[in-house]
Amino acid sequence: MAGSYDDRDGKIWMDGTLVDWRDANVHILSHAMHYASSVFEGERAYNGKIFKSRLHSERLIRSGALIDMPISQSVDEIEAAKAAVMAANGLTDAYIRVLAWRGAGEDMGVASARNPVRMAVSAWEWGNYYGDAKTKGAKLDISKWKRPSPETIPCEAKAAGLYMICTMSKHAAEAKGCSDAMMFDYRGYVAEATGANMFFVKDGEVHTPLADCFLNGLTRQTVIGMLKEKGIKVTERHIMPEELEGFEQCWLTGTAAEVTPVGQIGDYNFEVGAMARDISDSYEKLVRL
d(CA 265, CA 230): 27
The per-residue pLDDT for range 222-235, each reduced to its tens digit, is 999 999 999 999 99
d(CA 19, CA 94): 19
pLDDT range class, residue 2, cuts 50, 70, 90:
low
**Per-residue pLDDT averaged across 235-244, rounded?**
98
Selection from 101, 82, 92 nearest residue 29 by Cα? 101
CB contact at 8 A, 99 and 245: no
Residue 1 lies in a domain: no
Residue 77 lies in a domain: yes
- 158 flagged as catalytic: yes
Residues 170 and 35 in one domain: no
Active-site pick, 11, 134, 158, 170: 158
Residues 230 and 264 in one domain: yes
CB contact at 8 A, 18 and 84: yes
In degrees and rounded to multiples of 5, residue 83 shows phi and psi of -60, -40
How would you label 190-209 residue by residue, b for 16+ Cβ within 10 Å and e otherwise?
bbbbbbbbbbbbeeeebbbb
Residues 280 and 154 in one domain: yes
Final residue in a domain of this structure, among 104, 124, 144: 124
Query: Which residues sit opposite 142 in a β-bridge?
Result: 182
The per-residue pLDDT for range 181-221, each reduced to its tens digit, is 999 999 999 999 999 999 999 999 999 999 999 999 999 99
Q: Which domain holds residue 72?
A: 11-124
Residues 272 and 221 in one domain: yes
Residues 116 and 156 in one domain: no
Q: What is the pLDDT of residue 135?
A: 83
pTM: predicted TM-score of the whole model, two decimal places: 0.96
Kindly report which listed range (2-6, 30-34, 282-286) carries the lowest average pLDDT score.
2-6
Q: What is the pLDDT of residue 57?
A: 98
Please provide the average confidence, as pLDDT, over all residues in the chain: 97
Cα three-residue angle 161-250-258, rounded to 5 degrees: 55
